[in-house]
Amino acid sequence: MAQFLMYFVQNLMTKSMRYMKRNLKILVLAVLMAATSCSFTTKKFDDPNKDKLLIDLITYVLSQGHYDAKEINDDFSEKVYKHYIASLDPSKRFFYKEDIEEFEKYKLLIDDEINNKELNFFDLTYSKLEKRNEEAKRLYTEILAEPFDFSKEEDFVADGDDLDYVTSKSELKERWRKQLKFSTLINYYDLKEDEKNKKENDPDYTMKSDEELEKKARETTRNSLSEYFDLTDDLERKDYFSVFINAVVEEFDPHTYYFAPRDKDRFDIQMSGKIEGIGARLQKKNDDITIMDVISGGPAWKSEELDAGDVILKVKQENENEPVNISGMRLDDAVDLIKGPKGSKVTLTVRKKLLGNIEQVTLTRDLVELEETYAKTAMVDKDGKHYGIINLPKFYFDMEDYNSRNAASDMRKDIIEL
């Protein structure tokens, strides 16, 4: 994955390029969107349907303000179609060939839909993907209920580009079976190696049987799939619509990108390394909103009342009488309730990990800095020489305050200090 690329110089160069690209994408679109309040305001955007309004606004601004505007025609439509479908099902484990044939009716009509503010193609793909997601959930549960035979030699094609779309449910099930067997085999190998290491360290250790390891490996695969589908179940129509919008805007050029409001918020946090909130990273496991990590120096850390593994059950704002139950809530929605302006108070009802007791914790939100964002220095002595090391994880700056901490000023300061 992108986050785990090479360390030191290669890590710095790769991550820097990535953040420069992402930054250019959002800046280009932000500038273009701002242009609607200047020279392009002769067009009125009054469609009550927000999705139609959004695509109308974005395509209009890009066609009028982009430095290399593309004509929205059949050729453009076909490229958007291929990009979008590949984004929805890159591994070809969801859509059937008949689905694709139904979609292909729109391959050369997306430009017409954009110009006419119609969303028939998107609505069709979205409803079909929802249906196929439910089918996939039933398939993986059914497949993982039975043990795999690792003595049987089989071929598995991992790259979706080398696969055709399936024509039947049995063919789809077989594709899922091979994928799940492959994933389980990797888990099985790791467990087997772990057992061997335990035996080497302790000759009296009784190794688990292959059957036990296979079962545990399947459980690990099942848990991974369960977490994946928990995440997809939380996705809403607007999330998939962002995928469609980006398939459109990226055809203008690869450095143009659309951020939905929440994506823009996340981008700003990543770029600035700052967030106003309680200073805790959260994750959703099953229906529980769980504290994954308490950030050093933040309100949660200073309170000494919250720990990793605690489950947040309810959230109450200081101006509210009753708390909001967040069990089963989308993670993004829960985060929106928990974070807030610096100086405001929030009361959390928490189930503690250690004893399972229920506690109420009131915190005053503050500006939390994510230290892993920023440049760091170190001095190293080797062979009688002094070496200064600067680790710059990524480029960073605050779009709301250009005078605040940023990568350029931090690097300048660190170089001078060294």
Contact in structure between 276 and 342 (CB atoms under 8 Å):
yes
Contact in structure between 277 and 285 (CB atoms under 8 Å):
no
Closest C-alpha to 367, from 275, 254, 240 = 275
Q: What is the structure's pLDDT at 375? A: 92
Q: Which residue has the tokens 């009131």?
A: 362
Same domain? For 309 and 171 the reply is: no
Least confident among 251-255, 297-301, 317-321, 395-399:
251-255
Same domain? For 220 and 352 the reply is: no
pLDDT interval class at 61 (50, 70, 90) = confident
Residue 17 tokens read as 């390029």
Give the domain range for residue 405: 374-417
Q: How far apart, in whole angstroms, are the C-alpha atoms of residue 351 and residue 370?
A: 26
Same domain? For 235 and 106 the reply is: yes
Please give the share of the chain, as a percent, with pLDDT higher than 90. 62
Q: What is the structure's pLDDT at 287? A: 84
Is 344 within the bounds of a domain? yes
H-helix or E-strand spanning residue 348: strand 345-351
Total count of domains within the chain: 3
The whole-chain average pLDDT of the chain stands at 86
Q: What is the structure's pLDDT at 23? A: 42
Contact in structure between 25 and 405 (CB atoms under 8 Å):
no
Contact in structure between 366 and 299 (CB atoms under 8 Å):
yes
Is 13 within the bounds of a domain? no
Closest C-alpha to 275, from 339, 228, 216 = 339
Is 6 within the bounds of a domain? no
pLDDT > 60? residue 36: no
Same domain? For 116 and 175 the reply is: yes
pTM of the model: 0.74
Across the strands, what pairs with 166? 96
Same domain? For 101 and 247 the reply is: yes
Q: What is the structure's pLDDT at 24? A: 39
More confidently predicted of 90 and 263 = 90
Same domain? For 382 and 309 the reply is: no
pLDDT > 60? residue 47: no
CATH for 304: 2.30.42.10
Contact in structure between 271 and 396 (CB atoms under 8 Å):
yes
pLDDT > 60? residue 106: yes
Q: What is the structure's pLDDT at 253? A: 79
Mean pLDDT of 235-242: 92
C-beta neighbour count of 215 within 10 angstroms: 15
Q: How far apart are the first and last CA of the chain?
A: 33
Residues 6+ apart with CB under 8 A from 157: 163
Same domain? For 299 and 398 the reply is: no
C-beta neighbour count of 275 within 10 angstroms: 22
H-helix or E-strand spanning residue 314: strand 311-317
pLDDT digits (tens, 9 = 90+) for 303-340: 999 999 999 999 999 999 899 999 989 898 999 999 99
Q: What is the structure's pLDDT at 149? A: 94
pLDDT digits (tens, 9 = 90+) for 113-148: 998 989 999 999 999 999 999 999 999 999 999 999
Q: How far apart, in whole angstroms, are the C-alpha atoms of residue 397 and residue 141?
A: 45
Q: What is the structure's pLDDT at 261? A: 80
